[in-house]
Amino acid sequence: MDKVQNNKAWFLVLPVLLLVAFSAVIPLMTVVNYSVQDTFGNNVFFWEGLTWFQEVLTSKQVHAALGRQLMFSAIILAIQIPLGIAVALCMPKRGVWASVCLVLMALPLLIPWNVVGTIWQILGRTDIGLLGYVLDQLGISWNYSRNALHAWIIVVVMDVWHWTSLVALLAYAGLQSIPQAYYQAARIDQASRWKVFRYIELPKMAGVLLIAILLRFMDSFMIYTEPFVVTGGGPGTATSFLSIDLVKLALGQFDLGPAAAFSIMYFLVILLVCWVFYTVMTNLDKAEGR
């Protein structure tokens, strides 16, 4: 059949265009709009150009928050990825216990963020929380609302508790896809346990691990609810990560211009990281398929 040119067909994509416009483009443009203007109320706006961007980029407060944020993401990745792999390696491969493990592992993932925050907020308290009480009784002067290190520890441990299962489940799926023949061949080749991990398990898990790293990085980079519930960003600004700072700026101080500029750059950073990961992953796929 010959193809007929008919420009009316464009009307068919109109619903999608409208939907995307309302769900993404218009909200984003509102933010862009705020980011280049200033207001003193009464809906009167003044053109400010790139002033807010400059202000955010040179702000010591933002630099410090970005530093804390990167540090947090680095720490949780450094703990969760190896720990998740280790847990996956220890999980039974089949049978009833495999199912039991899977269900138990999936539980933390199903708990809403603010509930997780509340659980750990209470758990860490010295008066009514089990963890805080035990530490206190052991003679450790534990106080996560005063001591910055303690605040970091509880936020990191909470995130590890909440999200290591995700890494473990992904790694477990990767391990399960390895045919038994590989292990038999390795035994016949007299490969040590380490070499089995290094040359069979790790390469076969590489794909899912990359996805795990991407997911965990993005999530930890955008983390808000849990530290907000547990520490409120404190003590001082010790656990104020980017999104906590952003909310303070936008809703606390109502600095719409700087907050909008901040949001846009935050968004661009995440987009950039996504793009880098995507490129790496597709290259890896290509290398695999070659």
Partner 1 sequence: MAQITLDNLAHSYLPKPKGEEDYALKQLDHVWNDGEAYALLGASGCGKSTLLNIISGLLVPSRGRILFGDRDVTRADTVARNIAQVFQFPVVYDTMSVGDNLSFPLRNRGMDAAYIAARVQKVARMIGVEDMLGRKARGLTADAKQKISLGRGMVREDVNAILFDEPLTVIDPHMKWELRTQLKALHNEFGHTMIYVTHDQTEALTFADKVVVMNDGRVVQLGTPEELFDRPEHTFVGYFIGSPGMNLIDAEVSGNTADCAGHAVPLGGSYKALRGRVQIGVRPEFVTLASGEEGLPVTIRRIEDVGRHQIMRAEFAGRPLNAILPEGMSVPAGANRLKFVPERVNVYVDDWRVSPLHSVSTPAQEAV
Residues that bind partner 1 (CB under 8 A): 179, 181-182, 184-185, 187-192, 195, 199-200, 203-204, 287-290
d(CA 288, CA 179): 17
CB of 190 to partner 1, least distance (A): 4
Q: Which is nearer to partner 1, 85 or 119 (CB)?
A: 85
Q: Which is nearer to partner 1, 8 or 94 (CB)?
A: 94
CB of 289 to partner 1, least distance (A): 7
CB of 186 to partner 1, least distance (A): 8
Read off the tokens for 261.
């500029």
Q: Which is nearer to partner 1, 115 or 288 (CB)?
A: 288
CB of 202 to partner 1, least distance (A): 8
d(CA 155, CA 159): 6
CB of 171 to partner 1, least distance (A): 17
CB-based contacts of 201: which residues, under 8 Å, 6+ apart? 89, 175, 178
CB of 96 to partner 1, least distance (A): 18
CB-based contacts of 215: which residues, under 8 Å, 6+ apart? 166
Phi, psi of 45 (to 5 degrees): -120, 145
Q: Which is nearer to partner 1, 49 or 289 (CB)?
A: 289
Phi, psi of 238 (to 5 degrees): -55, -40
Q: Which is nearer to partner 1, 135 or 205 (CB)?
A: 205
Q: Which is nearer to partner 1, 146 or 187 (CB)?
A: 187
Q: Which is nearer to partner 1, 93 or 195 (CB)?
A: 195
CB of 204 to partner 1, least distance (A): 8
Task: Identify which of 230, 229, 210 has the alpha carbon closest to the alpha carbon of residue 218.
Answer: 210
